[in-house]
């Protein structure tokens, strides 16, 4: 069982390492000190289980789970009891309060092993409420409702939200599959959020022209325009 420790406190990470040393079936895949670092390590290391703190600088453990397309199993480790209900709403394996007791951790790891052994078929993923975007040294957790549109830029998609225009290493096809029905494909170049469309007007040759809430104009291809009209939009 591969475990990723996610906690901003150095002493808390050290204590978890000490407790996990008693479990030869567990390999510590890595450690992360914040949600942004954890997202990168989940992608690179593919852990089976997260030992996840709730309160961390920048973004919480719950923000992290929202940003992951396919999160590992989760055991929360926190000093606070007020997040327990929320933890089980996200299907956490367990909710351990610090200081972590060895028997409680052992029971949680046994529960993780049983769940992993079942290898259930993954359920269809719900549309995320947030996206994690990393462009160079800058990172954002962005609510999808704030995103006006995505614009194809080679192997990347440029994300338009607020006054920002960062690049995201995702194709428009991937984003279209992942996001909810309010995001529609305007053309090979654009994926737009209908909640940010101010006006829609007929264009040349059966196309449509969308004016976004920031004033940007987006052309909808003839084929896509026909599909939008058929859907009553």
Per-domain residue ranges of the chain: 2-118, 130-230
Q: Is 149 helix (H, G, I), strand (E, B) or coil?
A: strand
Tens digits of per-residue pLDDT, 117-144? 876 545 555 677 888 888 888 888 889 9
The highest-level CATH class for domain 2-118 is alpha beta
Tens digits of per-residue pLDDT, 37-67? 999 899 889 999 999 999 998 889 998 998 8
pLDDT interval class at 158 (50, 70, 90): very high
The highest-level CATH class for domain 130-230 is mainly beta
Q: Assess contact for 75 and 48: CB atoms under 8 A.
A: no
Per-residue tokens: 185: 């494909």
Mean per-residue pLDDT over the chain, rounded:
89
Per-residue tokens: 174: 């991937």
- Alpha helix (H) ranges present in the chain? 10-20, 35-45, 61-67, 84-89, 102-118, 172-178, 222-230
pLDDT at 125: 57
According to DSSP, the residues that pair with 89 across neighbouring strands are none
């Amino acid at each position: 069982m591969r475990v990723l420790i996610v906690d901003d406190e150095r002493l808390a990470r050290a204590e978890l390492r000490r407790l996990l040393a008693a479990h030869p079936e567990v390999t510590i895949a890595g450690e992360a000190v914040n949600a942004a670092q954890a997202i990168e390590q989940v992608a690179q290391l593919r852990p089976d289980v997260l030992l996840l703190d709730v309160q961390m600088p920048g973004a919480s453990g719950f923000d992290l789970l929202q940003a992951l397309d396919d999160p590992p199993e989760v055991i929360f480790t926190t000093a606070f009891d007020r997040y327990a209900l929320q933890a089980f709403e996200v299907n956490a394996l367990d909710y351990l309060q610090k200081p972590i007791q060895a028997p409680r951790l052992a029971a949680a790891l046994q529960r993780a092993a049983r769940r992993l052994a079942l290898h259930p078929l993954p359920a269809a993923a719900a549309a995320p409420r947030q996206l994690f975007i990393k462009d160079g040294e800058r990172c954002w957790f962005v609510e999808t409702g704030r995103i006006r549109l995505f614009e194809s830029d080679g192997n990347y998609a440029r994300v338009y939200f607020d006054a920002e225009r960062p690049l995201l290493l995702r194709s428009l096809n991937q984003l279209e599959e992942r996001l909810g029905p309010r995001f529609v494909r305007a053309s090979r170049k654009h994926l737009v959020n209908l909640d940010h469309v101010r006006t829609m007007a007929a264009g040349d040759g059966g196309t449509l022209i969308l004016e976004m809430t920031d004033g940007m104009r987006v052309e909808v291809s003839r084929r896509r325009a026909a599909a939008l009209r058929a859907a009553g939009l």
